[in-house]
A = this chain, B = another copy of it.
Amino acid sequence: MKISSKARYAIQSMLQLAMQVDNKPLTLADLTQQQNISSSYLEQLLASLRESKLVMGVRGPGGGYRIAADLADISIADILMAVHERHLTRPKKSSYGISIYNDMWWDLSESIQNFLSDISLADLMDREDVQTYLHQQRLFKDMTSVASQAEKQRKRA
């Protein structure tokens, strides 16, 4: 099965953002480093994600992009729709003469849609290795925050 690389970039970016401890922003540069893609192109994709209110941009030093909604409320379908706009919708039943093949097609297409709508970012993160990874990140963050506290103490003295 081929999924467009556009979709892959978008989803991978969302995953990276989703995994940030405390939803701390990631810069475009941060995001681009993981995937090998030009930053200006990824920027365009992020713009789409922003328009769809899936991420938000934070300007200035320390800024970047962060997730703009609850992880359980963002589905794979949402992400795909955000980046490849222009999605067709099922014609009204009334438009007469629509063939049975057409009906079958739309049914299929809707079940794919539903499947993808059922997978949230939260679901994807609910895996053992991911959780372990996140746990480590948090530990690391605590350590460094303790260290910086100590540092401030030291300077003050």
Q: Chain A residues in contact with chain B, CB under 8 A?
A: 1-3, 8, 11-12, 15-16, 19, 34, 76-77, 80-81, 84, 86-88, 99-105, 107-109, 111-113, 115-116, 119, 124-125, 127, 129-130, 133
Which B residues are CB-close (under 8 A) to A111?
119
Instruction: List the B side residues contacting A15 at CB < 8 Å.
Output: 101, 104-105
Specify which of A19, A81, A102, A104 lies most central, judged by the most chain B CB atoms within 10 Å of its CB.
A104
Q: A116-B112, A119-B108, A124-B108 are in contact. Are A101 and B34 (CB under 8 A)?
A: yes
Interface of A is mostly: helix
Tell me whether A77 and B1 are in contact in the complex, defined as CB-CB below 8 angstroms, given that A12-B101, A129-B103 are known contacts. Answer: yes
Q: Among the listed B1, B104, B130, which residue makes an inter-chain contact with A109, where contact means beta carbons less than 8 Å apart?
A: B1
Once the chains bind, are A1 and B87 in contact (CB under 8 Å)?
yes
Contact B12 A130 (CB under 8 A): no
